[in-house]
Amino acid sequence: MVRLRSLCVFLLLSGPLCARDPLAKVGDFSLPDAQGKKHTPKEWKGSKAIVLIFLGTECPVSNGYAPTLTRLAERYGPRGVLVLGVHPDPDVTAEVARKHAKEYRLSFPTLLDPTQTLARQTGVRIMPEVAVLNPAGEMLYRGRIDDRYALDGKRRDEPRTHDLEDALTAILAGRQPSPRATRAFGCPLPRPIQN
């Protein structure tokens, strides 16, 4: 596991996109949100799309997206899109997540995923990065929210592409998002502490 991750880091550094299965599928899971409510894929039934947003409470890039994410959730929620935040950090307790959601005015539930089960199943490696699924858990889009940050970390004043929004528009129109995957810039997922 560790070796594979390191290999991927190496490949990322050396340029080409580290091969990730673009057709990853999310199977069963049961995770509590910051309020203690349990979430499973059963609740996805009836939604047109599910957006998992991987968040980093200590990542300025991730936090900077909070207003954008809340806007998207408010815009697409009423149109049948279920938006869920995911904390893939073992140090983010329910209390930390509640405080963070309040501070950054997140309008959607945030799941606590200390063992990174959703990150593994979706292949997400960056905070913030999104995985858009259909109710069967099949991946429709994975990657950045928009191109506000270039891959070298340089920040544009205004994004020029709105990848997540374009993907949702396509899905709601019954089309396949294009592209289906992009590379996100931000903070790599933390390692779970071993000992």
Partner 1 sequence: MHRFVPALLLGVTFALPASAAEEITFTKHIAPILWKNCASCHRPGEVGPFNLLTYKDAAKRADFLAQITSERRMPPWKAEPGHGDFEDVRRLSDAEIKLLAQWAESGAKEGKASDLPPAPKFTEGWQLGQPDLILKMAEPFEVRADGRDVYRCFVLPTGLTEDRTVAAVEFRPGNRRVVHHALYFLDNTGAARKKDEADPGPGYSSFGGIGIVPTGSLGGWAPGATARRLPEGTGRMLRKGSDVVLQIHYHPSGKVEKDQSTLGIYFTRKPAQRLVMGVPLVNRRLAIPAGEKRHEVKATFTLPVDVQALGITPHMHLLGREMKVTATLPNGKQESLIWIKDWDFNWQDQYRYRKPVALPKGTKLEMVAYYDNSADNSKNPNHPPKLVRWGEQTTDEMALCGLQVITAKRADMLELYKELLKTQGRLGSLLSGFGTPSDK
Q: Which residues bind partner 1 (CB under 8 A)?
A: 2-3, 5-6, 9, 12-13, 58-60, 63-68, 89-91, 103-105, 150, 152-158, 160, 187-188, 190-195
Using alpha carbons, list the distances in angstroms from residue 146 to 6, 84, 161, 186.
26, 18, 5, 12
Give the nearer residue to partner 1 in terms of CB position, either 75 or 105. 105
* 50 token code pair: 């599910």
Min separation Cβ 193 and partner 1, Å: 6
Give the nearer residue to partner 1 in terms of CB position, either 26 or 106. 106
Min separation Cβ 90 and partner 1, Å: 7
Distance from the Cα of residue 18 to its chain's centroid: 18
Min separation Cβ 71 and partner 1, Å: 9
Give the nearer residue to partner 1 in terms of CB position, either 9 or 136. 9
8 A C-beta contact, residue 96 and residue 57: yes
Min separation Cβ 149 and partner 1, Å: 9
Give the nearer residue to partner 1 in terms of CB position, either 38 or 191. 191
> Where do runs of H (alpha helix) occur along the chain?
2-13, 60-64, 66-76, 94-103, 117-122, 163-172
A 10 A CB-CB count for 132 gives 23
